[in-house]
Amino acid sequence: MTNHREPRAERGAAEPHGVVELHDVRKVHGSGEGAVTALDRVTLGFPRGTLTAIMGPSGSGKSTLLQCAAGLDRPTGGRVLLAGLDLGAQSERRRTELRRERIGFVFQAYNLVESLTAAQNVELPARFAGRRKGGTVGREEVAAALRAVGLAERAGHRPSRLSGGQQQRVALARALVTRPDVLFADEPTGALDTRTSGEVLRLLRRLVDEQAQTTVMVTHDPAAAAVADTVVFLQDGRIADRLDLDGDHARAAAAVAARMARLEA
Ligand SMILES: Nc1ncnc2c1ncn2[C@@H]1O[C@H](COP(=O)(O)OP(=O)(O)O)[C@@H](O)[C@H]1O
Ligand SMILES: [Mg+2]
């Protein structure tokens, strides 16, 4: 996989600090003797229209970072800004609204509802998000989201009739139907074989290139991280390293694997 992209500086020029910014974010799980510092003073931005991969050993804080950045979890310290809005300063209700309207999330497990068709699964969050930017989220948007992931023909299928890769693509369509400012994906290819992973990764890359879909993906697979513009490495809750990639996926995968090996050594 090779592609050619605009220079990063041009794409991010209007919004230098990112759609989502973490400033000095700390997260302590639990309290007292059982307290675990999962994130320790993490400062990081996700520029609009870019794909960032978060890597790091198991337990390094990747999922916690994603949950805090997506407003699903509250940092113990520091600030998370979404399109310039301080999430911590919002009411619980407003935060939930912002999450529904502006953030998309996919997980390793697709979490599709088996009794619903692909289209109905995609429509589900749209119902909650309701109106945005003056328009309603309806049948057209659902169809467009399924087209974007290449599953227009499977709209009427139930999840069990779809392959794992297709189910993850439905989950992606569901995350994208509200046109979120940012898509967060936690190990989106973790349950898929190599070939199907490649399908999902190419799709993520295409959404970034063609629709400027800002995307943040946690992965422990160097081949997955290789499709990103930037790879951020976590270790013990801190940013240990960072790598900017140029679109040569084979070379990038080797470079990412080498950095990971150094972290795990
Ligand atoms: N809800 C929780 N309660 C207590 N500890 C947690 C919780 N979630 C994560 N942790 C701990 O925080 C650290 C980071 O976890 P996590 O963010 O899941 O890492 P990763 O996704 O990189 O594997 C780990 O030590 C983990 O055990
Ligand atoms: Mg995790």
The residue ranges of every structural domain in the chain are: 20-111+181-264
7: tokens are 């220079």
**131 C-alpha to center of ligand 2: Å?**
32
What pLDDT score was predicted for residue 130? 54
What pLDDT shows up at residue 218?
Answer: 97
30 lines ligand 1 (CB under 6 A): yes
**What is the predicted pLDDT for the residue at 129?**
61
Ramachandran area for residue 216 (φ above 0: left; ψ -120 to 50: alpha; else beta): beta
Residues with CB under 5 A from ligand 2 (ion): 62-63
Q: d(Cα 141, Cα 145) in Å, to the nearest integer?
A: 6
Atom of ligand 1 nearest to the CA of 39: 14
Note the pLDDT of residue 225. 96
- Ligand 1 pocket check: which of 55, 63, 76, 239 to mutate, most ligand atoms within 8 Å of Cβ? 63
Rounding to the nearest 10 degrees, give the CA dihedral for residues 172, 178, 179, 180.
-80
Q: How far is CA 125 from the centre of its chain?
A: 16
Mean pLDDT by 10 residues, the chain (265 residues): 45 61 96 95 95 95 96 94 91 90 91 94 76 60 93 96 94 93 95 90 95 95 95 97 90 93 87
Mark 104-121 as b/e (b = at least 16 C-beta within 10 Å): bbbbbebebeeeebbbbb
User: What pTM value is reported for the model?
Assistant: 0.90
Q: Is the CB of 27 under 6 A from ligand 1?
A: no
Ligand 1 neighbour 36 (Cβ under 6 A): yes
Task: Measure the CA angle with vertex 110, ends 108 and 113; round to 5°.
Answer: 155
Q: Is the CB of 34 under 6 A from ligand 1?
A: no
Q: What is the pLDDT of residue 128?
A: 66
Point out the ligand nearest to the CA of residue 237: 1
Name the nearest CA neighbour of 216 among 226, 203, 230. Answer: 230
Whether residue 38 has its Cβ less than 6 Å from ligand 1 = yes
Regarding the domain delimited by 20-111+181-264, which CATH topology (the fold level of the hierarchy) does it fall under? Answer: Rossmann fold (3.40.50)
Instruction: Read off the amino acid at residue 233.
Output: F
Q: Verify whether ligand 1 is closer than 6 Å to residue 213 (CB atom).
A: no
Q: Which ligand 1 atom minimizes the distance to the CA of 58?
A: 23
